[in-house]
Amino acid sequence: MNSSSPSPPDSINIWRTWALTVTYEAGEYTGQKFKAEKTGGGPVIPSPNLDTDLVMACDRLADVLIKASKNPIQMQMDIARYSKLISPKDTGHNEHREARLLERCPPGHEGKRLVDEPAIILDASSAIIAWYLPDALTDTTQKEIREATDLLAPSFKKSVRADGNW
Report the distance separating Cα 114 and Cα 90, nearest Å: 26
164: left (phi over 0), alpha (psi -120 to 50) or beta: left
* Residue 22, Cβ density class (10 Å: 0-12 exposed, 13-18 middle, ≥19 buried): middle
Report the distance separating Cα 147 and Cα 166, nearest Å: 23
For 97, phi and psi rounded to 5 degrees? -60, -45
Give tens-digit pLDDT for 49-66: 899 998 999 999 999 999
Give tens-digit pLDDT for 91-145: 778 888 888 887 877 766 666 778 899 999 998 899 999 999 999 998 888 897 8
Kind plus residue range of the DSSP H or E element containing 104: helix 95-104
